[in-house]
Amino acid sequence: MRRLLWRGHVEQATRTLRKLGDLVDSGTELAGPFHEVIDWVSCWYPGLRTHRSGADRGLDGAAEVEVVTGLEGVRVLSAFLTGHEDQKAVTRAEQVLRLCPMGKTALDSLTAALMTLIYADRTDLARRWCEPLLEQTTTHCAPSWQGMFAAIRAEIAVRQGRLQEAERCAHAALTHMPVTSWGVALGFPLAAMVTAKVGMGKYEDAARYLAVPVPQAMFDTPVGLHYLFARGGYRLATGAAEAALADFRACGDLMERWDVDLPGIAAWRLGAARACLDLGRIKEAATLVADQLAFLGGAVTRTRGIATRLRAATLAVEARPAVLEEAVKILQTVQDQFELALALAELGRAHSRLGESHRARAVQRRARHIASSCGAESLTGVLSRGVPDPSESPAPAGPGEVDLSDAERRVAALASQGYTNRRISEKLYVTVSTVEQHLTNIYRKLGVSRRADLPAFLD
């Protein structure tokens, strides 16, 4: 049945699941193996939960883990997805990773334990455990081991803003295992690759990976959430904010339907907030960010750092520096280099708009250094324009001093270089109508009336 579900044959697997459930309910000796399958199903297909998973059967998240079958990691992830108890899940996942032997049946357990740490927003721990495991998966190991650990390493790198590393590991994952072998898990390395490519400004590469056909059943699994979130990020970066918003909201609908609304899986509210900001729907964005912060409790996490950065964008410019400094502090602690560079870039922009050019230049130099070190070339290009020196003669406000969205900046930069609207649409994979809408907003924000005036603002 697990093979059927891996291949996306959901209807056939569901019929089998019902028959097995009836046998278990009638008192057969299948109960042990059946509950192991149920735990696996609850991790991969949350919508198919018909019998009790690990958390429902009363597993104590703080209890010691005794590794016997090699499937304890799956039980830990299942219990976390149904019980949502972060600290207990982290404790048990680390016990599995400490005790589980690298045997034939260990792959599901080890990968599930690592995903538990990732979904609990503890990528620092996930990285610490994943590195030695990846080193042990030598060329003598099965390709599935090499592929899965490389894909997990890529996801960790994405969440730590290490874009070049994420790109390299995602490529390794897709090399070790061909596309046809990934089944419904295909979206996992694809999502990491697309997110890395978008952060690096390689939009054409990202589009090619999004063009790879994926199983429809993938969207019945958490892997589909990764994929939707990554596709939403690509659409947002290329100017299709409405389509991006639809992806983020689809992600949220699935998570709420499955009762796995955990920001460590996909912070869909923050994705939707980013799209609303690009669309000029500031109040809606502020509500989404506030809702996300209310979900988080008091822990210092990557999600909190991103939410704090986005909250600043919904405030008056005078209130932004203090909030962005808080975001910078959080993102430094959780070690997400890309998000830290974004927060610093926005802090520099806020200082610039407030006339604090010396502070702005210092902050943007730091942002540029971090963006360059993590491979965020598109952000590096924007930051390289810098902040004008106050000793120079006054000039009209430039793009670093107005609220151009990232998508508008990309359109403006290409337009200033002489690209036609159609050519811009082809390069950014958006419609000509979208380009025209962006240009209208750009002209209004920059106070110009034609394309020929843009070079005065864009180097």
Contact between 375 and 201 under an 8 Å Cβ cutoff? The reply is no
What is the DSSP code (8-state) at residue 63? S
> Does domain 159-283 fall into CATH 1.25.40?
yes
- With b for 16 or more beta-carbon neighbours within 10 A and e for fewer, the 285-315 pattern comes to bbbbbeebbeeeeeeebbbbbbbbbbbbbbb
Task: Please give the pLDDT value at position 139.
Answer: 54
CA 131 to chain centre: 20
Give the model's pLDDT for residue 58: 43
Alpha-carbon span 358 to 391, nearest angstrom? 11
pLDDT at 202: 92
Distance in angstroms (rounded) separating the CA atoms of residues 30 and 299: 41
Give the distance from CA 25 to its chain's centroid. 40
Type of residue at 265: I
The two three-digit tokens of residue 14, written as one number: 């569901």
Q: What is the pTM of this model?
A: 0.81
Question: Which DSSP category does 454 fall into?
Answer: G
Percent residues over pLDDT 70 in the chain: 84
pLDDT at 53: 47
Burial, 105: exposed, middle or buried (Cβ in 10 Å; 0-12, 13-18, 19+)? Answer: exposed
- DSSP per position, 106-128: HHHHHHHHHHHHHHTT-HHHHHH
Measured CA to CA, the distance from residue 86 to residue 94 in angstroms comes to 12
In angstroms, rounded to a whole number, what is the distance separating the alpha carbons of residues 75 and 81? Answer: 10
**What is the pLDDT at residue 389?**
44
Q: Give first-to-last CA distance, the chain, whole Å.
A: 59
Tokens standing for residue 395: 């000039």
Using alpha carbons, select from 193, 125, 181, 120 the residue that is nearest to residue 155. Answer: 193
pLDDT score, position 156: 97
Cβ atoms within 10 Å, residue 242? 12
Give the residue extent of every domain in the chain: 1-120, 159-283, 297-388, 402-456
List pLDDT tens digits, range 243-278: 999 999 999 999 999 999 999 999 999 999 999 998
Provide the pLDDT for residue 397: 47
pLDDT tens digits, 22-63:
776 666 665 556 677 778 888 889 888 755 444 444 444 445
* CATH number, domain 297-388: 1.25.40.10
- DSSP for 264-299, please give it: TT--HHHHHHHHHHHTT-HHHHHHHHHHHHHHHTT-
Low-confidence ranges of the chain (pLDDT < 70): 24-34, 50-70, 103-104, 137-141, 381-403, 447-450, 452-453, 455-459
70: helix, coil or strand? coil
Per-residue confidence (pLDDT) for residue 247, from 0 to 100: 97
CATH, domain range 402-456: 1.10.10.10
CA distance 154 to 194: 11
For tokens 């149904």, what's the residue? 82
Phi/psi at 310 (5° precision) = -70, -35
Dihedrals phi, psi of 392, to nearest 5 degrees: -75, 160
Angle, vertex CA 458, rays to CA 454 and CA 459, nearest 5? 130
What pLDDT shows up at residue 26?
A: 66
- From 446, 372, 14, select the one nearest 162 (Cα to Cα): 372
| Domain 297-388 matches domain 402-456 at the CATH topology level | no
| E strands, 105-182, in order | none
Q: What is the pLDDT of residue 363?
A: 93
Residue from 254, 284, 250, 289 nearest 269 by CA: 289
- Measure the CA–CA gap between 228 and 222, rounded to whole angstroms: 10
